[in-house]
Structure 1
Amino acid sequence: MGGMALRLARTSAEAHLYMELHPCESCGESGFAPASSIVEAEGDLASRYTGSCPSCGTAREFTFRIPDEILLPGDEDPRFGDDRPSELLDAGEWLWLADALARDAPAHPSGVDAEDRQSARIDLLTAASALSEVLKFVPAGADAVPAEALWSGRGREVYAAGPGRFRRLRLEAVRDTYRDVAARFG
């Protein structure tokens, strides 16, 4: 028997985000421009990303299972996956991503040039999409993300800093706010 079953990357955006959040173990560099190929692994079709760390040259490789149905989200609809919760990133990592994207976006389009407006709009839509990913971890009938949906160090830190942020109603409210603000940049 092989090792752990391959985890599913629901979209290439999710695979790339995972790789970005898992920097080189030798030097900590998060930049990585891998070559990708489709391979068969453990009886499933998989995406394999291989390349060298641009800083220290360490060989890096990531292999993810590919979903049966490929989602091709567009710029106007930045989605990371289908209705299933992520197998790659935990609820806290998705919230961390939403925070990072929204933190840099201007609150209002006035005085912002067209290119920056478009960039802010996509960042806010992507932040809203990341919050939708957090919500996928809330079980039906529950009102918050359960503790077992936080398995990474970063995810647990985000949770420890503000457990109330993982409540369904709060997540929905913030997501809807990001969408509303994004619409102003349209």
Structure 2
Amino acid sequence: MTLPVARTRDEARLYLDLTACACGALDADWQHATGLQDGELVSVYDATCPGCGADREYAFGLPERETAGDYPHFGGDEPSQLIDAGRWMALADQLASALPEDPATAAQALHLARAAVDEVIKFVPAGATTVPAKAFWTPEGRAVRDAEPGRFQLDRLEIVRNTYQPT
């Protein structure tokens, strides 16, 4: 079984933050380790849900080569295998629509929103002008696309990304 690759720890942690327990709780004290699964080295995150006490565990494949960068650093040039294009856009929308009053915190939120839009752009194939339908594999992601499909045109994505430039 091939596991989806977590390109970086930032991406894995964001995926975990977006993935609710069966009881609906989002918060968890995630512990990280590496391990073997079917003879392959994997990245494993586990936690006990504070809401219902359920044990939660997620295993991710490791990237062929690691990339480094300042926070938030979600990966290289390839698109995410964990978070679809619509969920990245929803995150950007959420962050940019409720900016805190504190300038430093607002700048950090805009920086993260910009990084999320950069992740959406990675789904646009070379030479294409829009994010393809296959880049929306979750119900949440498809709902974002279906609400306004034009938002996923490359030129519009670049304009949005550029407006999320912290001052």
Tell me how far apart the structure 1 counterparts of residues 123 and 45 of structure 2 sit (CA, whole Å).
27
Tell me how far apart the structure 1 counterparts of residues 68 and 26 of structure 2 sit (CA, whole Å).
25
The two structures have a TM-score, normalised by structure 2, of: 0.94
Tell me how far apart the structure 1 counterparts of residues 105 and 154 of structure 2 sit (CA, whole Å).
28
Tell me how far apart the structure 1 counterparts of residues 113 and 30 of structure 2 sit (CA, whole Å).
25
The one of 58, 65, 81 equivalent to 1:62 is 58
Name the aligned partner's letter for residue 30 of structure 1: L
Matches within 5 A, 1:58-137: 58-75=54-71, 78-105=72-99, 112=101, 116-137=102-123
Identity rate of aligned residues, in percent?
Answer: 46
Structure 1 residue 45: deviation in Å?
Answer: 2.1
**Structure 1 stretch displaced more, 63-72 or 124-133:** 63-72
* 8 Å Cα contact 1:79/1:126 also seen in 2: no
Tell me how far apart the structure 2 counterparts of residues 144 and 168 of structure 1 sit (CA, whole Å).
5
The one of 48, 52, 68 equivalent to 1:52 is 48
Structure 1 residue 121: deviation in Å?
Answer: 1.0
Deviations 1:86-138 (A, max 9, x none): 000111011011111111126xxxxx5xxx22211111111111111101111
The two structures have a TM-score, normalised by structure 1, of: 0.85
Structure 1 residue 151: deviation in Å?
Answer: 0.5
Structure 1 residue 156: deviation in Å?
Answer: 0.4
Q: Which residue does the alignment assign to 1:24?
A: 21
Tell me how far apart the structure 2 counterparts of residues 28 and 175 of structure 1 sit (CA, whole Å).
31
Name the aligned partner's letter for residue 137 of structure 1: F
Tell me how far apart the structure 2 counterparts of residues 62 and 16 of structure 1 sit (CA, whole Å).
11
Q: Which residue does the alignment assign to 1:41?
A: 37
Structure 1 residue 10: deviation in Å?
Answer: 0.6
The one of 129, 140, 159 equivalent to 1:143 is 129
* 8 Å Cα contact 1:50/1:62 also seen in 2: yes
Structure 1: which 5+ runs fail to align?
107-111
**Structure 1 stretch displaced more, 121-130 or 64-73:** 64-73
Q: Which residue does the alignment assign to 2:11?
A: 14
* 2:155 equivalent to 1:159: no
Tell me how far apart the structure 2 counterparts of residues 67 and 121 of structure 1 sit (CA, whole Å).
30
Structure 1 residue 143: deviation in Å?
Answer: 0.7
Larger Rg over CA atoms? 1
Structure 1 residue 69: deviation in Å?
Answer: 2.7
Instruction: Output the aligned Cα RMSD.
Output: 1.4
